[in-house]
Amino acid sequence: MGDIPMHIDYYEGSMYEAVEKVAKIFPRYTAIDFMGKSTSYAELISNINNCAKSLKTLGVREGDIVTIAMPNCPQAIYMFYAVNLIGGIANMVHPLSAENEIEFFLNEAGSTVAITLDQFYHKFEHIRYNTKLVNIIIASIKDALSPHIRAGYMITEGRKIAKIPYDAPVIYWKDFMKLGKFCSYNYKVKRTGEDPAVILYSGGTTGTTKGIVLTNKNFNSAGQQIMATNQMFRPGDRMLAAMPIFHGFGLNVCIHSMLSQGGRSILVPRFTAKSFAKLIVKYNCNFIAGVPTLYEAILNVDALRNANLSCLKGIFSGGDTLSIELKKRFDTFLEDHHCAVHIREGYGATESVSACCLTPPHIYKAGSIGIPFPDTYFKIVKPNTDEELPYGEEGEILIAGPTVMKEYLNSPAETAKTLRKHADGLTWLYTGDLGVMDEDGFIYFKGRAKRMIVSSGYNVYPAQIEGILDAHEYIQRSCVIGVPDPYKMQKVKAFIVLNPGVPANSQTKETILKYCSKNIAKYAMPKEIEFREELPVTNIGKIAYRKLEEEEKNK
């Protein structure tokens, strides 16, 4: 195995072209697997082209933004690359987002076309008239299944899905794909590496939701870097794609890096530790990626008790800090199951697509998140300045390289604050994270300069939830913190001071939670509510959230 290169020649075309190029070399290789059904690279390209023609027939043009609110399933993959092929921009949205959040994502992007699953139709219907939506395309898991699996799905999961009215103003996936026959040419749009291609959402440095505009080159570079740092990869290798596609980790590491290099993505629409474990064995997976909570849960799954995991070549952890203790336990577990490699921790930001730093295969330093990817530079500075700090001194982590975003959507002030050009001529991404670099160039993550909760790998911004809570007529003020949870690492807890006359009882709690479910995504929902007469404050009158965190820690 050769050394990791310092520099790579990056592909300058579009994401679709990167996949098409590979499909010409390996047309018969399997590109994606979904619940027992395989799709070859040749079929993948054919379906993407048909989907692109249908989008063109609907009137989607170069630069238009199409919203994809889907789990990991074939239709989502076809749509993602089809939007890219016709020169559009894919607006990736968490399908479990609350109605008001979906409305915000659609309006922020100015999206006129969206695709979602049948089970999420009612959310879109409730808010569509507050948006510019013209067409809603409805896909169904059953449409992507082989006939015998479809029958079983309809008896179990399919029965739970609320019926869509027969006259609903939607286009069903099968009908949508038939529209392609009305467009036989002129649907392919030439795009460059610098053109915007994807919008992902994150809290930005202020904790308010921001659309992150990423280019073709950002994604293609990220895919090439992942392969350069994993030289054991071979075309045809299998990646378990369980991390969601509305997040850079899932979309880049599990999907685009594989499909642009000849790999095979096993799509998992909704996973548990048990199903994840079974699929590793079923498909003899070579690569898996997940958050620390997933690896913690896998240690206790019976499905892997006597499994032979010698098929694994790469096991990646990201999204949150992997404790030294968990790494030790998981590495021992891997050794006990005939696996020749250990778990490798990475670090990145959605503003740089996903991972941009990874532990090398054969060098591990306790507590380190590894070394930067090729052509990627890290700098530790005095927070919010360009003053570089010496090795071993803690400061803000800055990143520069080909995967750094183009901009925040509709937010020039936030963009200017986050992307800054230094005297060295490089544009640096201010992550808001704290870290240390040692003399060998290894990075150590030390915490977040911005206030954030990480629950099951999802970033939750307390200020956003407090804003929603404080808008309720019952609530005078609130404070949201993360409290330890054996499975999620942290769960969301809200401390609430009620307005005079509002009873602090279970009925009030129920009303507030019902209101939350309309306005807050499932993963960010408060799991505990505690009513207080007053909240602790700092000398300048701000709520002392650290004091509440301390109280919880000492319980």
- What pLDDT was estimated at residue 539? 59
Task: Assess whether pLDDT exceeds 90 at residue 179.
Answer: yes
Residue 221 near residue 355 (C-beta atoms within 8 A): no
The predicted model gives 394-422 an average pLDDT of 97
Q: Please name every residue paired with 139 in a beta bridge, in sequence order, or none if there are none.
A: 117
E strand segments, 401-460: 407-408, 419-421, 427-437, 443-448, 453-455, 458-460
Task: Assess whether pLDDT exceeds 80 at residue 320.
Answer: no
E strand segments, 118-170: 135-139
Residue 99 near residue 122 (C-beta atoms within 8 A): no
**Cα–Cα distance measured from residue 494 to residue 475, given in angstroms and rounded to the nearest whole number:** 12
- What pLDDT was estimated at residue 5? 77
The predicted model gives 448-460 an average pLDDT of 76
Closest CA to 83 of 114, 110, 116, 106: 114
Cα of 169 vs its chain's centroid, Å: 30
Task: Assess whether pLDDT exceeds 50 at residue 250.
Answer: yes
Cα of 218 vs its chain's centroid, Å: 15
The predicted model gives 287-313 an average pLDDT of 89
The predicted model gives 299-325 an average pLDDT of 89
- What pLDDT was estimated at residue 324? 85
Task: Assess whether pLDDT exceeds 90 at residue 259.
Answer: yes
Cβ count within 10 A of residue 243: 29
User: What's the pLDDT tens digit per position in 327-344?
Assistant: 999 999 999 999 999 999
Structure tokens at 545: 């959230």
Q: List CB contacts of 167: < 8 A, sequence separation 6 or more.
A: none
State the number of CA atoms in the 13 A half-sphere of 389 facing the CB: 20
Task: Assess whether pLDDT exceeds 80 at residue 152.
Answer: no
Cα pseudo-dihedral 11, 17, 19, 22, rounded to 10? -80
User: What's the pLDDT tens digit per position in 68-116?
Assistant: 999 999 999 999 999 999 999 999 999 989 899 999 999 999 999 999 9
Structure tokens at 523: 């993963």
User: What's the pLDDT tens digit per position in 354-384?
Assistant: 999 999 988 899 889 999 999 999 999 999 8
- What pLDDT was estimated at residue 453? 84
Q: List CB contacts of 424: < 8 A, sequence separation 6 or more.
A: none
Structure tokens at 539: 């000398």
Helix (H, G, I), strand (E, B) or coil at 538: coil
The whole model's pTM is what? 0.86
Residue 371 near residue 360 (C-beta atoms within 8 A): yes
- On average, the pLDDT of the chain sits at 91
**Cα–Cα distance measured from residue 399 to residue 439, given in angstroms and rounded to the nearest whole number:** 17
Instruction: Identify the top-confidence range among 9-23, 192-206, 438-452.
Output: 9-23
In which band, very low, low, confident or very high, does the pLDDT at 484 lie, cut at 50, 70 and 90? confident
- What pLDDT was estimated at residue 450? 67
The predicted model gives 61-66 an average pLDDT of 97
- What pLDDT was estimated at residue 154? 58
Measured at the CA of 32, the angle between CA 3 and CA 278, to 5 degrees, comes to: 85
Domains and CATH numbers, the chain: 37-191 (3.40.50.980), 453-553 (3.30.300.30)
Phi, psi of 390 (to 5 degrees): -70, 165
- What pLDDT was estimated at residue 542? 67
Euclidean distance between the first and the last CA atom of the chain, given in angstroms as a whole number: 51
Query: Which has more confidence, 326 or 509?
Result: 509
The predicted model gives 7-20 an average pLDDT of 96
The predicted model gives 175-203 an average pLDDT of 93
- What pLDDT was estimated at residue 451? 75
Listing DSSP states for 448-473 in one string gives: ESS--EEETTEEE-HHHHHHHHHTST
Phi, psi of 44 (to 5 degrees): -60, -50
Query: Which has more confidence, 206 or 431?
Result: 431
**Cα–Cα distance measured from residue 511 to residue 519, given in angstroms and rounded to the nearest whole number:** 13
- What pLDDT was estimated at residue 258? 98
**Cα–Cα distance measured from residue 463 to residue 46, given in angstroms and rounded to the nearest whole number:** 45
**Cα–Cα distance measured from residue 365 to residue 443, given in angstroms and rounded to the nearest whole number:** 10
**Cα–Cα distance measured from residue 523 to residue 527, given in angstroms and rounded to the nearest whole number:** 10
Residue 48 near residue 84 (C-beta atoms within 8 A): no
**Cα–Cα distance measured from residue 295 to residue 306, given in angstroms and rounded to the nearest whole number:** 17
Task: Assess whether pLDDT exceeds 50 at residue 1.
Answer: no
- What pLDDT was estimated at residue 305? 86
Q: List CB contacts of 386: < 8 A, sequence separation 6 or more.
A: 420, 422, 423, 428
Task: Assess whether pLDDT exceeds 90 at residue 151.
Answer: no
The predicted model gives 433-440 an average pLDDT of 94
DSSP H or E run through 530: strand 528-531
**Cα–Cα distance measured from residue 329 to residue 536, given in angstroms and rounded to the nearest whole number:** 39
User: What's the pLDDT tens digit per position in 26-55?
Assistant: 999 999 999 989 999 999 999 999 999 999
- What pLDDT was estimated at residue 273? 85
Cβ count within 10 A of residue 7: 8
User: What's the pLDDT tens digit per position in 106-146?
Assistant: 999 999 999 999 999 999 999 999 999 999 999 999 888 76
